[in-house]
Structure 1
Amino acid sequence: MALGLSQRAERITQAEIRVMTLECEKLGGINLAQGVCDTGVPSPVRSGAQIAIDEGINSYTRFDGLEELRRAIAVKLRDFNGICADPETEITVSSGSTGAFYCTCLALLDPGDEVILFEPYYGYHLNTIEAVGATASYVRMHPPDWRFELRDLERAITPRTKGIMINTPANPSGKVFDRREIESIGDIACRRDLFIFTDEIYEYFVYDGRRHLSPASISGLADRTITISGVSKTYSITGWRVGYSVAQPRWAEIIGHMNDLIYVCAPAPLQCGVARGMNELPRSYYDDLLVHYTDKRERLCRALTSAGLTPCVPQGAYYVLADVSRLPGANSKQKAMHLLRECGVAAVPGEAFYHAGGGENLVRLCYAKDDAELDVACRRLQRLR
């Protein structure tokens, strides 16, 4: 037998987000493509990790995370999400929310199973599903408010469907799923006996008086919902790789075993930093965060509007999908490259978030940048006027 890649590897390509980041580096542009979140890290989070290193907390933790962190997550889930979770049996700390989802897919999906994604979708969700041999089916959401039809969701279900992914607030659209939508999805999931996978990493970034709603907080949905989240975005520590999943014990146990097999544990001193942040930061921190990001959103949307790239104003998260139909290029990749070359601003082609025939005239821009760099990017966009 000849040497070669696995069939799994042949299906996986580098994410367009990473590709545009590399292109941006080559041209010395401002990277609004990748959600690196380069704003400041809260003091308790930094000092908590530093103290842990100084005190020698450098060994493996329990496979599902430090007790201090699991208990802090349980309190946060109760107070913010309305989810009652046992920190001993229902919470698994993993290598970021991406790692938590990968362990979930390994634990609950078989090759050939299907998971429904709402599109535009986050590419890592699709890649993770495909990495375990499962496949995706799709329900199209429609701008500017990213509504979808329940009949489309019903039609997407086949005998091989195992679950539905809800990303709220959503990357890249910024959609915040409301109670009516989540209850309707939950009703379908109960009738068809499906898992609900949720990615709630942007849960504190919800604008204009909206409220984040966790599906697992709705009566009757906790048993079938795997909640995935973390504080990478909230504390601006995307490189620390500390996230978590929450599930009923029968699901959490095997998710934890997969986490042990793949990652062993998340970095011990960084878990301490996250725990300290969750325990010590006041509510005002999260309120101020929303104020600051609302301002960033408005500044970028104004700049895009002025440049003739009409934005779909996001309801949550920290990305904007903008209409680039007026830019030259046969597709969104060519249009994104034109934007990078002409303005020195990197964006992700919209086609990266659709499985076929969508996003050709969209790009995604991230505004999780420090104010000075965001201001420069906004000024550069005016070159298109």
Structure 2
Amino acid sequence: MRSPTLSPAGNLRLSELAPHFVQSEIRAMTVACTEVDGINMAQGVCDTDPPHPVVEAAISAIRSGHNIYTRMDGIVSLREAIAQKFSSFNHLKVDPHSQVFVTSGATGAMYASLLALLNAGDECVVLEPFYGYHVSTLKSMRILPVVVPLAGPDFGLDVERLRAAITPRTRAIIINSPSNPSGKVFSRTELEAIAEVAIEFDLFVFTDEMYEYFIYDGAEHISIATLPRMAERTITISGFSKTFSVTGWRLGYLAASERWLPAIGYFHDLLYVCAPSPLQHGAAAGLLQLPQSFYNGLTAEYQAKRDLICAALKRAELTPSIPTGAYYVLADATRIPGADAKQKARRLLADAGIAAVAGSAFFASDAAGVNPGENLLRFCFAKKDDELAEACRRLDAYRG
């Protein structure tokens, strides 16, 4: 039998996409931090302790035999608890049996939703500074991210700039509020403007609300799906990683119209089968048992952490942009030696033992190759008090 003729390049090669992707700067800095035993303020690992009822319910579920596949959309008790949470906190009415889906992290929710609703060659608007995983996910599906910068030091929405970015190929807008990396919380007026554009041009809106309980200075979290005519076109994504400090559990959820959920469910099943069974029981216990005081405590605790790190950054002459949500802060790294933000991040790690993320990971370069984030670093303050205090001490000692 004759051997098949191989192309000059051979069949054993990377895909067309693979050479264009590298390890995320967040992951790279985590690895670099581990090598020098530094303080990791690069990755949003949220290493504070999970609530006791959440942990105990997950352990009990394992011991009780809840270790096999669940329904692909999640266990009933968790879906019903999520629907109740949407109603009481987000003021969004959803049917737990046809409009709620438990996912393998918010990342899994986003990935399955984009697979179900967008096509290769479509365009999706992303607001800058953006969460890098959103942009990379779009690119991995051959969907074109169209970056619309937010304006000024408070990252305000420029509605006309948003409108100008819409083309006949635009199918969706991605929102992240509260935002990673900036801590931006979109106001009702801004969300109404986005909704108006989405309705006018008949667009989907994917809204990542993972940090919805981390709100400071009296800001208000608003789910865009609650605005008139938006529930049908909005995929609302959140999860338990940050709220319950269980980032390694990879447990998220989404709400969407029953028109879209079967297709989203198909792709989530194809990718993940289902979210981890015993951990779903832990999350359900958290939603059902934790009192409102727990969530109020999150706000107070993390606002104090924010104030602590921002004060230390100011003293170190790394001027922060004060976030009103999430648990990240962008700081001006102009005074740190280095040709770009990646070099500055590594210099800070070497000199102070603190890992931060290059701001360039959250911005797009312009036609001339200039990236607005080259003099910025992102710090995560979701740390235990003693480690955060040590990071502040190191910043106080840092001279550059």
Name the TM-score class by shorter chain.
over 0.9
1:379 corresponding residue in structure 2: 393
Q: What corresponds to 1:207 in structure 2?
A: 216
Equivalent position to 1:198, from 203, 207, 213: 207
- Residue 383 of structure 1 deviates from its aligned partner by 2.3
Structure 1 contact 114–135 (Cα < 8 Å) conserved: yes
The list of structure 1 runs, each at least 4 consecutive aligned residues, that deviate by more than 6 angstroms after superposition, is none
Q: 2:123 aligns with which of 104, 114, 125?
A: 114
Q: Distance in 1 between matches of 2:267 and 2:142?
A: 16
Correspondence 1:363 to 2:377: yes
What residue number does 2:318 align with?
309
- Which of 244, 253, 256 lines up with 1:244 in the alignment? 253
Aligned equivalents of 1:132 and 1:178: distance in 2?
31
Partner of 1:352 in structure 2?
361
Contact map agreement 2:157 2:190 (CA 8 A) in 1: no
**Preserved contact between residue 48 and residue 384 of structure 2 (Cα < 8 Å):** yes
Which AA in structure 1 matches 2:124? V
Q: Post-superposition shift, 1:155?
A: 1.3
- Bigger radius of gyration: 2
Q: How does 1:335-350 map to 2 (within 5 A)?
A: 335-350=344-359
C-alpha deviation, 1:25, in angstroms: 1.0
1:328 Cα offset (Å): 1.0
- Letter of the 1:264 partner, please give it: V
- The within-5 A match list for 1:183-332 is 183-332=192-341
Deviations 1:341-379 (A, max 9, x none): 111000000000011121011000000000000000110
Report if the CA contact (8 A) 2:151-2:158 is conserved.
Answer: no
Give 2:3's aligned residue: none
Aligned-residue offset at 1:143: 4.0
- Please state if 1:159 is matched with 2:168: yes
- Separation in 2, partners of 1:225, 1:11: 30
How many equivalent pairs are there? 385
Q: CA deviation at 1:130?
A: 1.2
Q: Which residue of 1 aligns with 2:93?
A: 84
- The amino acid of 2:383's aligned partner reads K
1:312-336 per-residue CA deviation (whole Å, 9 max, x = no partner) reads 0001000000001111111111111
Q: How does 1:92-103 map to 2 (within 5 A)?
A: 92-103=101-112
Counterpart residue identity of residue 303, structure 1: A
Q: CA deviation at 1:125?
A: 0.4
CA deviation vs aligned residue, 1:161-187 (integer Å, no higher than 9, x gap): 110011000000000001000000000
* Contact 1:143/1:312, CA 8 A, preserved across alignment: no
TM-fit CA distance, 1:270 = 0.1
Instruction: Please state whether the residue corresponding to 1:49 is helix, strand or coil.
Output: helix
The partner residue of 2:44 within 35, 57, 60 is 35
User: Which blocks of at least 5 consecutive residues in structure 1 are unaligned?
Assistant: none
SS at match of 2:378: strand
CA distance in 1, matches of 2:262, 2:96: 12
Instruction: For residue 74 of structure 2, give the secondary structure of its aligned residue in structure 1.
Output: coil
Instruction: Name the CA distance, whole Å, in 2 between partners of 1:67 and 1:122.
Output: 31
Please give the alpha-carbon distance, in whole angstroms, between the structure 2 residues aligned to 1:8 and 1:278: 40
Preserved contact between residue 301 and residue 313 of structure 1 (Cα < 8 Å):
yes
Alignment partners' CA distance in 2, 1:13 and 1:154: 32
State the TM-score, normalized to the length of structure 1. 0.99
Q: Is the 8 A contact 1:37 1:238 kept in 2?
A: yes
8 Å Cα contact 1:139-1:148 kept in structure 2? no
SS of corresponding position for 1:136: strand
Q: Percent identity?
A: 52
Q: Which amino acid aligns with 1:351?
A: S
1:64 maps to what in 2? Answer: 73
Q: How does 1:127-142 map to 2 (within 5 A)?
A: 127-142=136-151
Cα displacement string for residues 43-97 of structure 1 (whole angstroms, at most 9, x for unaligned residues): 1100110110110001100001111100000000000001111111111111000
TM-score by length of 2: 0.95
Q: Hey, what's the Cα distance between the residues in 1 that align with 2:57 and 2:292?
A: 18
Q: 2:56 aligns with which of 47, 52, 60?
A: 47
CA RMSD of aligned residues (A): 0.8
